[in-house]
C-alpha cells in the first residue's frame, strides 16, 4: 500500500522576504510558533477539511510528489489541427460548404452566432428594429 506523504505549507502574508515555509508535520510548526494551537489547526487541516486562513497566515497540507507524473497518452494530448482548404477560387463552391456547416450546428448555436454577428456590426447608438424579426419557437 502506497501512502501519500504530506507536508504543511505555511504562507506568511505579511512577510516580504521568504513568505513560505514547509514543515514535515503540524506538530513541528506548532513547536516552532507557540502562538498557534495544534488542536485548532489540526481540526482545520485534517483530511477533507479547509486550510487555515487568517489575516496573517495561510496554512494547508499538500501532497508531496514522489515520482514523476505520467506523460499524457496521445488521446489526452491536445493537438491543434489547421483548418485549411486549398482550392481554385472559381471551383470553391463555398455556398454549398457553408450550408453544410451551418446545417450541422444546432439551432441554438446558429442563433448565438447570428446575435454575435449582429452585435459586432451594429454601433452602440443604433438599436435593432425588432418589428421585422419573425419569432418562432425552437423544437
**Model pLDDT for residues 24-56, shown as the tens digit of each residue:** 989 999 999 999 999 888 888 876 678 888 899
- Quick check: 21 pLDDT over 90? yes
Render pLDDT for 71-117 as a digit per residue (tens, 0 to 9): 766 666 667 777 787 888 877 778 888 888 889 999 889 888 888 88
Rounded Cα gap, residues 18 and 21, in angstroms: 8
In this prediction, residue 1 has a pLDDT band, given cuts at 50, 70 and 90, of very low
Beta strands in the chain (DSSP E): 6-12, 20-23, 52-53, 57-63
- At residue 48's C-alpha, the angle toward residues 22 and 39, to 5°, is 60
Amino acid at each position: 500500500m502506497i501512502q501519500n506523504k504530506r507536508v504543511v505549507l505555511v504562507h506568511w502574508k505579511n512577510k516580504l522576504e521568504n513568505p513560505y515555509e514547509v514543515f514535515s508535520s503540524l506538530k513541528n510548526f506548532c513547536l516552532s510558533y507557540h502562538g498557534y494551537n495544534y488542536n485548532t489547526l489540526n481540526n482545520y487541516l485534517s483530511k477533507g477539511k479547509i486550510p487555515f486562513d487568517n489575516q496573517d497566515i495561510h496554512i494547508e497540507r499538500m501532497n508531496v510528489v514522489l515520482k514523476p507524473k505520467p506523460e499524457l497518452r496521445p488521446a489526452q494530448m491536445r493537438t491543434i489541427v489547421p483548418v485549411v482548404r486549398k482550392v481554385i477560387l472559381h471551383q470553391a463552391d463555398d455556398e454549398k460548404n457553408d450550408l453544410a456547416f451551418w446545417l450541422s450546428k444546432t439551432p441554438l448555436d446558429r442563433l448565438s452566432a447570428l446575435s454575435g454577428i449582429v452585435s459586432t456590426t451594429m454601433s452602440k447608438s443604433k438599436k435593432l428594429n425588432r418589428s421585422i424579426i419573425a419569432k418562432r419557437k425552437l423544437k
